[in-house]
Structure 1
């Protein structure tokens, strides 16, 4: 259910306004926020970058909304502004690394953060996020030392297969190994970025819902890689 005036939407609009240099007066804050148009995708990205800076520097907000009462306030609806397609890796929690609270992010997690070949479950989730919930930014988030990407590299080189459905998952990542072939630098890093870019490209062409919103400038799709060692997210694409 979409709820444009939910506490999460109001807070996000206020923060985006502040990040863009828009001062909100202290009076009638809820009414002013509710009257604000949906935030610009670039402003949402700026907000995520600022949150990541707080996380990476160890200055995350102690007031970030993650208490039961914060979730209860949104029991009747949600209104996230950004959607994250991230890896299922236990060390990569988007809400934490972007220092966001309840209701701010719509998160889809799958090992290897793959989109192409993942089927209707992943693409349908993103379409729901942009069409029904009104998110303005879709981010494909990879990360350093990704086990799924590492397995794809290893099993391309070895020309063998893995047991069960693990093999099917790794097969979806193998095209990124070919994309990164011949690139200078660390092979795992190159393939990780190539894998993200493949997913970004797929979302931009997997129509009709998402591509139309991208062309209209209402939604921005970006790629990113999270560094486990530093906590920093590099955004590109």
Structure 2
């Protein structure tokens, strides 16, 4: 057997010994406080980023590009993975989690600006990111490096996914929708792994967000408010 599998199973023993009693009240049901829609990048630790090691606390969804919808014969609908806790477990918070240096956004950016060959399954996912990222290319600041452009597009993609949730008739009105960026590249601050709030229910203006949500004002900041790039002092 591959040594990776052996190591994972050994670590699972430690997990099982620790978790046994924690499932006493969860064996038959769950009521997670939030659903997170994260990129499936291996560097994005979905529970650990919130300091969570408690079963039943967070309903985690992941895919490349932290996409919230799926194409259907009726158009783009919010994915059942996301909708399930919002309809069935009384979950009232949905958080779209992008991250700096996103591989899916990077590949979509390359897909739009140069020839890139990818397997059909990956191409299918990229096709869902391309339309809105193509729009963003037209308004990106001109003097950005590719790395900086990609991190601006990460924000744009998070905003787009948030708008899909906010505009959906299927998402209950009392659900709080946030967009955040998980930073491990020292882009927003020198604290690697810190989560930065960039969007609340479709609002992206930093000053407005800080005024509306003073209790998390120090966690709100953006690289890009469309049409201008913000300095570290401004964010």
State the TM-score, normalizing by the size of structure 2: 0.65
d(CA) in 2 for partners of 1:113 and 1:104? 20
Residue from 173, 184, 194 that aligns with 1:232: 194
d(CA) in 1 for partners of 2:130 and 2:32? 32
**Partner residue in 1 for 2:105:** 149
Greater fraction of residues in helix: 1
**Partner residue in 1 for 2:27:** 75
- Superposed, 1:54-69 pairs within 5 Å as 67-69=19-21
Residue from 158, 161, 169 that aligns with 1:199: 161
Q: 1:87 to 1:132 in 2, by over 3 A?
A: same
8 Å Cα contact 1:81-1:105 kept in structure 2:
yes
RMSD: 2.1
Superposed displacement of residue 175, structure 1: 2.3
Residue 183, structure 1, aligned to residue 140, structure 2 = yes
Greater fraction of residues in strand: 2
Which runs of structure 1 show a deviation greater than 6 angstroms over 4 or more consecutive aligned residues? none
State the TM-score, normalizing by the size of structure 1: 0.64
**Partner residue in 1 for 2:64:** 111
Q: 1:121 to 1:201 in 2, by over 3 A?
A: closer
Q: Secondary structure at the match of 1:152?
A: helix
d(CA) in 1 for partners of 2:116 and 2:42? 27
Q: 1:122 to 1:107 in 2, by over 3 A?
A: farther
Q: Secondary structure at the match of 1:102?
A: coil
- Superposed, 1:35-184 pairs within 5 Å as 67-100=19-52, 101-117=54-70, 123-181=79-137, 182-184=139-141
d(CA) in 2 for partners of 1:92 and 1:113? 11
Superposed displacement of residue 141, structure 1: 0.4
d(CA) in 2 for partners of 1:161 and 1:198? 25
8 Å Cα contact 1:83-1:106 kept in structure 2:
yes
Superposed displacement of residue 127, structure 1: 2.0
8 Å Cα contact 2:68-2:82 kept in structure 1:
no
8 Å Cα contact 2:136-2:153 kept in structure 1:
yes
Q: 1:204 to 1:121 in 2, by over 3 A?
A: closer
Query: Structure 2: any 5+ residue segments left out of the alignment?
Result: 1-17, 186-191, 200-235
Query: Structure 1: any 5+ residue segments left out of the alignment?
Result: 1-65
Q: Secondary structure at the match of 1:113?
A: coil
8 Å Cα contact 1:115-1:202 kept in structure 2:
yes
8 Å Cα contact 2:32-2:58 kept in structure 1:
yes
d(CA) in 2 for partners of 1:219 and 1:179? 28
What is the count of residue pairs matched by the alignment? 166
